[in-house]
Amino acid sequence: MSHLQQSFSVKFEYSVYFTNALFNTGNTTLADFFKERVSAAVKKVLFVIDRGVADAHPELSDNIRSYFQRYTDVQLISEIMTIPGGEASKNDTALFDQIVEAVNVHGIDRHSYIAAIGGGAVLDLVGYAAAVSHRGIKHIRIPTTVLSQNDSGIGVKNGINYKRKKNFLGTFAPPVAVFNDEVFLDTLSDRDYRSGISEAVKVALIKDADFFFWLEENAGNLAARDKEAMCYLIKHCAKLHMDHIAGADPFESGSARPLDFGHWAAHKLEQLSNFEVLHGEAVAMGIALDSVYSFMKGLLSEEKALRILKVLTTLNFDISNSLIQIRDAESPILRGLAEFQEHLGGLLTITLLTDLGTGKEVHEMDQELLIKASDYVNRYTNSH
């Protein structure tokens, strides 16, 4: 018997820029990015904008056109696409088809760019279309929500929901660059603004105790939309996520996924609510459940579990939605465990807490303890 063996590595590299008023012609951040990548090939850029962002910033398309009239290293496609945002956009394969059709009609090749401006769902959708068109078109992300600026928008995953399962179709394909523009935060609803903070709580709890202590101290300021506090949160949270991605398993080939602490229940809750519960809201509920379960399991002290619940409620999160409550073995949310395992492959791997800032992987969840943990969170909410 004989065989050939192949092995090679591919280096991925991208920058996350933090700026204000990206499309102001006096701001050269984006222009400098393109100037550094000038080549003999004609480069185009196709913009796809989240409709909610376009409505909140009616001048945006004109500003983009003015910007590329001033800076001409790439050719702007005159058609600026606007598509619905929110999780529903990832459920509609017709939107995926529209983006691929635009790639075809406008001749967007692998030397060109697709730039997405919007929340995490739109970035996921456009990133997936970019990754599979021509086996990979350069993708620029311009996140507009707290959640996408501190977490999903700066990562390497893209995808859409399919067969009523979250991110059933998707790719690992890093963007060529991410531009976080704080201007977009000003027009977020309180609900969208708050939603993204849960991912900061998550990454602090599993990776950075000092960051969690900072969140404790600043929860009131964050709830009151203090801009300086939020900009610090976004940048520090983004760094923690990027440090993790640069670790041993950036494309999640194993069964472990520590950045999904609290997510097994969150993903199922989103689906059960027909995605009326925002991702960040669901994550906050999942964090509460798994933190208390960690206490019930004897891994985390009750005092620390209560500190986590207090931070979440100070941030004005609802942590006891009826859809996440576990009353018995038939509670629908429990199906999230099997679906989480299916999505990861291999062993069921759930991250729990042994301390503030320290996670531990386990491979089973005790249903009776989950029922008790759910009841504990519900009673905490009712008493506060």
Q: Comparing 15-187 with 190-383, is the CATH topology the same?
A: no
Is 282 buried (19+), middle (13-18) or exposed (0-12) by CB count in 10 A? Answer: buried
Only one residue has tokens 């009523």, namely 164
- 143 and 123 in contact (C-beta within 8 Å)? yes
- 80 and 98 in contact (C-beta within 8 Å)? no
How many angstroms separate the CA atoms of 35 and 28, rounded? 10
Confidence class for position 266, pLDDT limits 50, 70, 90: very high
Residue ranges per structural domain of the chain: 15-187, 190-383
Is 284 buried (19+), middle (13-18) or exposed (0-12) by CB count in 10 A? Answer: buried
* Domain 15-187 CATH assignment equals 3.40.50.1970: yes
Q: Among 174-178, 194-198, 249-253, 317-321, whose mean pLDDT is lowest?
A: 249-253
Instruction: Note the pLDDT tens digit of each residue in 213-263.
Output: 999 999 999 999 999 999 999 999 999 988 877 766 566 554 446 578 999
Give me the chain's average pLDDT, please. Answer: 90
Query: What is the CATH architecture of 190-383?
Result: Up-down Bundle (1.20)
- 279 and 347 in contact (C-beta within 8 Å)? no
pLDDT of residue 208: 94
Instruction: Note the pLDDT tens digit of each residue in 325-340.
Output: 999 888 889 888 888 8
Is 289 buried (19+), middle (13-18) or exposed (0-12) by CB count in 10 A? Answer: buried
